[in-house]
Amino acid sequence: MNTLFVFIAITLVVMAIIFELIERVAKLSMRSFFIVLSAAFVGLVMGALLTLPLSKTPGYLGEWLPLVFTVLLVFGFVTFFWRQKEAVNKWFDAINKSLSVLKNVGAQTHPQNSVAVVDTSVLIDGRISDIIRTGFWFYKIIIPRFILAELQTIADSTDSDRRAKGRRGLDIIGTLRKSKEVKVEISNLDFPEIGEVDAKLVAIAKKQNLLLLTTDFNLNKVAKAEGLKVLNINELAQGLRPVILPGEELELKLVHLGKEKSQGVGYLPDGTMIVVERGGSLIDKTVKVKITRTLQTAAGKMFFSKIVDAK
C-alpha cells in the first residue's frame, strides 16, 4: 500500500512538472526553446551520472531516487538556465558566430565554389579550351541553355563576322564537352522574367553561389559590384604577360602608325602594345627597340621605346 502511494505521488509530481513545462515551452520563441532543451539535456545527463550510485541505496529508495533526482535536476537546470537567459543567449551567440566563421572557411572549398557559369564572350573568345588543356583549370563549367540559344542566334546571323563568332562559340562547347579535364553541364537555369542575358547570368550566379566566367569588361564590373567572384580571362592574360622593364631590348615588327605620325606601333605575341618613337617611317619592318617607359591604362600596360637598330 505504501509503495503504491509513493508511486502515485511521484507520478502526479512528474506529470505536474511535465504539463507545466509543456505549457511554458509552447509559448517560447525558437531561441528560448533551445535554451530549455539544452537545460533539460544537461539535467538528463547529470541524472544519468547519478543513476548508478543512487540505485545502490537500500530498499525502495534505490528504485525511486534515480528517477526523482533526474526529474529534479531537469527542472532545476531549466529554471537556472531560464533565470540566466541573457547569459545563455550570449553563449548561443558566441557559438553561432564560431559556426559562421567555420561555414565561411568551408565555403571556400565547397563544391558550389568550384562551379563557374559561363558567359557567351568566353565561348566566342575560345581561349578557355587552351587554359583547360594546360591542366590549370579546377572548375566545373555550367552553360545555361539561353547562352546556347544566343550563340545559335549569332551563328545564324546574316553578317559573316558574327556568323563566324557564333559558330566558333558552338565549336568550343563541343570541344569542352569532349575534354576529359573538365566537367561541362548544359543547364536549364534561367530567369525568364529577366530579358538581358548578362543580367540573367548575374542573377543565376548570385542565387546558386556560382563563379562567373567572362571576358566582358562591363559584365565583369557589374558582377563584382554585386559581390560575385569573377574569373576574367582577360585579367588572367594580363597577369601572365612577361614583365618588361625599362632598359630591356627586343625585336619588334611595326604594323601601323601611332597617335602621332612619327610613332610606329608593334605588338608582342601576347598582344602587348609597344609604341616606338620615330618609327612611323618603318611600318612593316622589324626593328630592335629599347624600352624607355611604361604606361598603365584601363586595357593594361602600354610600353614606349626608341629604336636601337633597324632591319
pLDDT in the model for residue 168: 92
pLDDT in the model for residue 89: 64
Poorest-pLDDT segment among 90-94, 155-159, 294-298: 90-94
Report which secondary-structure segment, H or E, holds 297: strand 286-297
Which listed CATH number (2.40.50.140, 3.40.50.10860, 2.70.180.20, 3.40.50.300) goes with 244-310?
A: 2.40.50.140
pLDDT, greater one: 2 or 83: 83
CA dihedral (117, 141, 119, 269) in degrees, to 10, reads 140
Q: Are 252 and 286 in contact (CB under 8 A)?
A: yes
Whether the model pTM is above 0.75:
no
Q: Is the pLDDT of residue 108 over 50?
A: no
For the chain, count helices (H), then strands (E): 11, 10
Q: Is the pLDDT of residue 39 over 80?
A: no
Q: Do domains 111-239 and 244-310 have the same CATH topology?
A: no
| % of the chain exceeding 90 in pLDDT | 19
pLDDT in the model for residue 105: 47
Q: What are phi and psi of 229, to 5 degrees?
A: -85, 125
Q: What are phi and psi of 121, to 5 degrees?
A: -60, -35
Rounded distance between C-alpha atoms, residue 85 and residue 79, angstroms: 10
pLDDT, greater one: 235 or 38: 235
pLDDT in the model for residue 143: 92
Band of pLDDT at residue 109, cut at 50, 70 and 90: very low
Cα distances (Å, whole numbers) of residue 28 to 23, 24, 95, 134: 9, 7, 21, 59
The domain segmentation of the chain, as residue ranges, is: 2-106, 111-239, 244-310
pLDDT in the model for residue 107: 45
Q: Is the pLDDT of residue 221 over 60?
A: yes
Q: Is the pLDDT of residue 170 over 90?
A: yes
Q: Is the pLDDT of residue 92 over 70?
A: no
Q: What is the mean pLDDT of residues 67-79?
A: 69
Q: What is the mean pLDDT of residues 143-161?
A: 91
Instruction: Show the 3-state SS of 36-53.
Output: HHHHHHHHHHHHHHHHHH
Taking residue 219's Cβ as centre, other Cβ atoms within 10 Å add up to 21
Residue 67, C-alpha cell as written in the block = 528517477
pLDDT in the model for residue 81: 66
Strand order in the sheet with 115-118: 184-187, 140-144, 115-118, 211-214, 230-232
Burial class (CB in 10 A: 0-12, 13-18, 19+), 203: middle
Rounded distance between C-alpha atoms, residue 69 and residue 54, angstroms: 9
Band of pLDDT at residue 57, cut at 50, 70 and 90: low
pLDDT in the model for residue 151: 92
Bridge partners, residue 212, by sequence: 117, 230
pLDDT digits (tens, 9 = 90+) for 259-298: 888 899 998 877 788 999 988 888 988 999 999 988 876 6
Q: What is the mean pLDDT of residues 162-171?
A: 92
Report which secondary-structure segment, H or E, holds 93: helix 85-107
Output the CA torsion sign for 13, 18, 21, 22.
negative
Rounded distance between C-alpha atoms, residue 91 and residue 138, angstroms: 40
Q: Is the pLDDT of residue 20 over 70?
A: no
Q: What is the mean pLDDT of residues 237-262?
A: 84
Q: Is the pLDDT of residue 106 over 50?
A: no
Rounded distance between C-alpha atoms, residue 240 and residue 249, angstroms: 20
Per CATH, the architecture of 111-239 is what?
3-Layer(aba) Sandwich (3.40)
pLDDT in the model for residue 111: 40
pLDDT in the model for residue 207: 87
Q: Is the pLDDT of residue 173 over 70?
A: yes
